[in-house]
């Protein structure tokens, strides 16, 4: 038995705590690991809009990682909002190469604010994807990064292949926004493709869903699972967090990473 497993989120802060570092830490806690955070960007936001975005000095990203590495046996890193090319480069050079890495290529918020600029996109492709044990784009991110228009299952699978061609060891292209095969994710690694599905839920635009999914994958990897098993367990976890998601601001739902604890008290959907 381990004393404790550690996972680190390198991502942006969301003041509303529905996405970003805050939901990453909640997810890691709920999945049974000690979550830690490297602040890579700051946002001022509520359920409806991102009202301000601020960077973090690139060298401060390295300082945070170095402080953690000096003391903790980190089992997995996860990246989220990285804002621009300098931040991406700082994160890529700070995260140790031998530690498993989940890359969530965050580009826009659920409220449609840009969270990564254009040079940042190029840097994610050239610096983060080759480092990824698994990348977790949603449909829009897969489309933007690959340049492949995703209109059906076939084009979604071609986009998944593009991620492997770009150096990621595995990819989950998430189907939460799809008009076809909705909620079905495409997992691809060198062993081939698997469709990952769970119950179909009535929501698709829940704040923090991508962060929660990637953090759950990182947690299960930190606990010792292989990437594919981690994805299957994370899908189950995320379905529960959607089932018990709640309207935290009028018309806006957010994930509930503590659904397993809350199912005694709160209603589904
Ligand atoms: O869900 C993407 C995301 C990631 N990181 C931060 C965010 C959001 C969405 O709003 O605010 C900090």
Judge contact between 27 and 215, C-beta under 8 A: yes
From the CB of 211, is ligand 1 less than 6 Å away? yes
The pLDDT score that the predictor gives to residue 268 is 84
Is the shortest distance between the CB of 12 and ligand 1 below 6 Å? yes
Contacts of 174 (CB under 8 A, 6+ apart): 136, 137, 138, 139, 185, 210, 213
CA of 113 to the centre of ligand 1 (A): 9
What is the reported pLDDT for 200?
A: 86
Q: Which residues of the chain have pLDDT under 50?
A: none
Cα first-last separation, the chain: 36
* C-alpha of residue 19 to centroid of ligand 1, in Å: 5
Shortest-distance atom of ligand 1 to CA 16? 11
pLDDT at 146 (0 to 100): 97
Which of 78, 94, 158, 93 minimizes the C-alpha distance to 126?
A: 93
pTM of the model: 0.97
Q: What is the pLDDT of residue 203?
A: 85
Q: In the 8-state DSSP scheme, what is residue 125?
A: I
Distance 106 CA to ligand 1 centre (A): 7
Cβ(80) – ligand 1 distance below 6 Å: yes
Buried/exposed 227-262: b ≥16 CB within 10 Å, e otherwise: bbebbbbbbebbbbbbbbbbebeeebbbbbbbbeee
Residues facing 55 on adjacent strands: 41
pLDDT, tens digit (0-9, with 9 covering 90-100), for 112-164: 889 999 999 999 999 999 999 999 999 999 999 999 999 999 999 999 999 99
What pLDDT does 255 receive?
97
Q: 80 alpha carbon to ligand 1 midpoint, in Å? A: 8
């Amino acid at each position: 038995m381990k004393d404790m497993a550690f996972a680190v989120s390198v991502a942006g802060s969301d003041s509303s705590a529905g996405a970003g570092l805050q939901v990453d830490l909640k997810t890691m806690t709920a999945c049974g690991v000690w979550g830690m955070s490297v602040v890579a960007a700051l946002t001022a936001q509520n359920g409806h809009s991102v009202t301000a975005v601020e960077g973090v000095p690139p060298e401060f990203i390295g300082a945070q990682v170095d402080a953690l590495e000096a003391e903790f046996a980190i089992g997995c890193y996860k990246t989220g909002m990285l804002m621009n090319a300098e931040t991406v480069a700082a994160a890529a050079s700070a995260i140790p190469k031998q530690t498993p890495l989940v890359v969530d290529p965050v580009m826009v918020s659920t409220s449609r604010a840009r969270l990564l600029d254009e040079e940042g996109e190029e840097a994610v492709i050239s610096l983060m994807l080759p480092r990824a044990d698994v990348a977790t784009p949603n449909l829009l991110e897969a489309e933007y990064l690959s340049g492949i228009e995703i209109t059906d299952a076939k084009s979604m699978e071609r986009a998944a292949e593009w991620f492997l061609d770009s150096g990621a060891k595995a990819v989950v292209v998430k189907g939460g926004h799809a008009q076809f095969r909705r909620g079905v994710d495409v997992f691809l690694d060198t062993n081939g493709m698997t469709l990952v599905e769970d119950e179909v839920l009535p929501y698709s635009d829940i704040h923090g869903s991508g962060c929660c999914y990637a953090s759950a994958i990182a947690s299960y990897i930190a606990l010792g699972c292989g990437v594919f098993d981690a994805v299957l367990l994370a899908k189950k976890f995320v379905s529960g967090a959607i089932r018990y998601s709640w309207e935290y601001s009028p018309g806006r739902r957010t994930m509930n990473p503590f659904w397993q604890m809350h199912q005694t008290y709160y209603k589904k959907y």
